């Protein structure tokens, strides 16, 4: 016997799932969310939010160590790792409770438990324990988890080999650690632990760290990381991990084919993520998968009638804001609204290391590969009054335009607060703004955002302050 019937059932209460559920309820659909663990998903509980709390701590710690440069005095600067972790978990817990209140406010039912799918009518039926739920539309928002490679020993043990969960809740501050992978997750943890005093080594398979970023920005960030004392090993591969009583010996094959052994207290696995597609009944339904992710169209629709997939489980980019927007597009299409198919070209990427990195659109290399005749503008932080006043004058803003049309093809930044500034360029791309519009926009002074204006001017030979 069916426990209840809904217009929409969302499986997963993360940034994609809860946003999709709320939007469905706003559009008058009877909606439920099935969540097996914590509302807010990995992002809120074990990702985006608590890591930013940790990184804020490291930022303050860094500033305290340089108090004298600001005319201040701070003696015997230290930290309590238990208190640091406690603050991070408190921030996550506060927001998780807020998601529950939002769902209740919008009259979305929350069903606690683990869902499986079975063949149904208009859409697959949802089973949670012994209860069966029917819906006209079922949205998969089950997220993803850290990728592991057991054959190479790249598998967490909760002690010496960590995923993001263990890295977020250390019982003690390690004296040394090695991070495998230099994407956003890996570099953020590398930055946090290095700032807090650990000896940090990063191993990356590609020829540079932050490989998805524009090469010029990636190189700038790498130079800064090395200056901070971080060791970067690129064009390299971890062949095996050898655990001893107190350490891990990491066997790394470098670009020349030579194997070197790096011995550290802890290892963080940041080698990518894979979608949570197991134990859902997808195989029996014939749901099309591609490399561990559910295949969907621009509206979240899978190849199975009435079944949709959004967020990390539907593939890259694995970003919370991508999941949320994808969920809204999916639900509005279900409701019969006239919406554009979901596209990834205007999704910003942000990495909250020190210095921060942010970008949107095409890199210089990708723009050239696509056949564009381009104009490139740059402006350094050292030429900006606000950056100098902040004591954080190392950074770069870079913009790429189509020389024929003036279209902003891409924007890339490294430096203080660029994760906040990037939204200006995201909006510019969304509104199909040209270089002329940006040149005629008045930016407030003194702000870091003035560098965005100067970078545009530089692309067309009109830069003022450089």
What's the CATH number where 376 sits?
3.30.390.30
Pair (321, 438) in one structural domain: no
- Cβ within 8 Å of residue 300, ≥6 positions away: 139, 308, 309, 310, 314, 326, 327, 329, 330, 333, 342
Closest to 230 in 3D by CA, of 257, 186, 191, 200:
200
143 pairs with which residues across the strands? none
**Site of tokens 């790249």:** 154
Question: What pLDDT score does 270 carry?
Answer: 93
Question: What pLDDT score does 3 carry?
Answer: 61
Q: Which domain holds residue 396?
A: 355-459
Pair (360, 428) in one structural domain: yes
Pair (386, 432) in one structural domain: yes
Whether residue 340 lies inside any domain: the answer is: no
Last residue of a domain, one of 223, 243, 271: 271
Pair (8, 111) in one structural domain: yes
Phi-psi region of 113 (alpha: psi -120 to 50; beta: other; left: phi over 0): left
Active-site pick, 251, 445, 453, 465: 445
Pair (142, 282) in one structural domain: yes
- The domain total for the chain is 3
Q: Which two tokens stand for residue 259?
A: 């194997």
Pair (229, 363) in one structural domain: no
Pair (139, 20) in one structural domain: yes
Pair (21, 51) in one structural domain: yes
- To the query of whether residue 445 is one of the catalytic residues in this protein, the response is yes
Pair (328, 418) in one structural domain: no
Burial of 361 (0-12, 13-18, 19+ CB in 10 A): buried
C-alpha distances (whole Å) from 350 to each of 66, 188, 209, 320 are: 26, 10, 14, 11
Whether residue 466 lies inside any domain: the answer is: no
225 pairs with which residues across the strands? none
**41 touches 350 (CB < 8 A):** no
* Three-state secondary-structure class, residue 330: helix
Query: The whole model's pTM is what?
Result: 0.94
Pair (285, 266) in one structural domain: no
Whether residue 423 lies inside any domain: the answer is: yes
Whether residue 350 lies inside any domain: the answer is: no
Whether residue 182 lies inside any domain: the answer is: yes
227 pairs with which residues across the strands? none
Q: Looking at residue 72, which CATH number applies to its domain?
A: 3.50.50.60
**203 touches 179 (CB < 8 A):** yes
**107 touches 8 (CB < 8 A):** no
Whether residue 422 lies inside any domain: the answer is: yes
Whether residue 339 lies inside any domain: the answer is: no
Pair (263, 296) in one structural domain: no
Whether residue 379 lies inside any domain: the answer is: yes
Question: What pLDDT score does 122 carry?
Answer: 86
DSSP for residue 154: B
4 pairs with which residues across the strands? 133
Query: What is the residue-level pLDDT of the chain in tens, covering all 466 positions?
Result: 446 899 999 999 999 999 999 999 999 999 999 999 889 888 888 888 999 999 999 999 999 999 999 999 999 999 999 999 999 999 999 988 899 999 999 999 999 999 999 998 888 999 999 999 999 999 999 999 888 877 667 788 989 999 999 999 999 999 999 999 999 999 999 999 999 999 999 999 999 999 999 999 999 999 999 999 999 999 999 999 999 999 999 999 999 999 999 999 999 999 988 999 999 999 999 999 998 999 999 999 999 999 999 999 999 999 999 999 999 999 999 999 999 999 999 999 999 999 999 999 999 999 999 999 999 999 999 999 999 999 999 999 999 999 999 999 999 999 999 999 999 999 999 999 999 999 999 999 999 999 999 999 999 999 999 9
Last residue of a domain, one of 235, 250, 271: 271
Pair (77, 90) in one structural domain: yes
Last residue of a domain, one of 271, 296, 316: 271
Q: Which two tokens stand for residue 130?
A: 């012994």
CA dist., res. 230 & res. 337, Å (int)? 50
């Amino acid at each position: 016997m069916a426990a209840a019937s809904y217009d929409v059932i969302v499986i997963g209460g993360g940034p994609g799932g809860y946003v999709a559920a709320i939007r469905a309820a706003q559009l008058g659909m009877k909606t439920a969310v099935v969540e097996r663990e914590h509302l807010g998903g990995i992002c809120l509980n074990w990702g985006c939010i608590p890591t930013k709390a940790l990184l804020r701590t490291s930022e303050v710690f860094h500033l305290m160590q340089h108090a004298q440069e600001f005319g201040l005095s701070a003696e015997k600067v230290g930290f309590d790792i238990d208190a640091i972790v406690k603050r991070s978990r408190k921030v996550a817990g506060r927001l998780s409770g807020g998601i529950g209140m939002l769902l209740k406010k919008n009259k979305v039912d929350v069903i606690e438990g683990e869902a499986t799918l079975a063949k149904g009518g208009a859409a697959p039926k949802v089973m949670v324990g012994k209860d069966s739920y029917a819906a006209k539309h079922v949205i998969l928002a089950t997220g993803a988890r850290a990728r592991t490679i057991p054959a190479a020993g790249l598998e967490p043990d909760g002690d010496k080999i960590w995923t993001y969960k263990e890295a977020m809740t250390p019982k003690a501050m390690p004296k040394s650690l090695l991070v495998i992978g230099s994407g956003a997750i890996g570099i953020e943890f590398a930055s946090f632990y290095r700032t807090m005093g650990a000896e940090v080594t990063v191993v990356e398979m590609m020829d540079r760290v932050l490989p998805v970023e524009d090469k010029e920005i990636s190189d700038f960030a790498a130079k800064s990381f090395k200056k901070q004392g971080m060791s970067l090993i690129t064009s390299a591969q971890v062949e095996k991990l050898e655990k001893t009583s107190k350490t891990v010996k990491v066997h790394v094959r470098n670009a020349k084919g030579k194997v070197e052994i790096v011995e550290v207290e802890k290892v963080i696995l940041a080698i990518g993520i894979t979608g949570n597609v197991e134990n859902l009944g997808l195989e029996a339904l014939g749901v099309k998968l591609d490399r561990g992710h559910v295949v969907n169209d621009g509206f979240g629709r899978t190849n199975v009638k009435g079944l949709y997939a959004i967020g990390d489980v539907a593939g890259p980019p694995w970003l919370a804001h991508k999941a949320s927007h994808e969920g809204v597009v999916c639900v509005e299409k279900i409701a019969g609204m006239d919406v554009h198919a979901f596209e990834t070209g205007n999704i910003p990427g942000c990495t909250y290391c020190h210095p921060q990195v942010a970008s949107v659109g095409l890199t210089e290399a990708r723009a050239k590969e696509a056949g564009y005749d381009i104009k490139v503008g740059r402006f350094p932080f050292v030429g900006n009054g606000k950056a100098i006043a902040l004591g954080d004058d190392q950074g770069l803003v870079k913009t790429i335009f189509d020389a024929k049309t003036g279209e902003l093809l891409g924007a890339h930044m490294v430096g203080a607060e660029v994760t906040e500034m990037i939204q200006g360029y995201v909006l510019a791309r969304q509104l199909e703004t040209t270089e002329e519009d940006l040149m005629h926009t008045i930016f407030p002074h003194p702000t870091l955002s003035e560098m965005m204006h100067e970078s545009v001017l530089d692309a067309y030979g009109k830069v003022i302050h450089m």
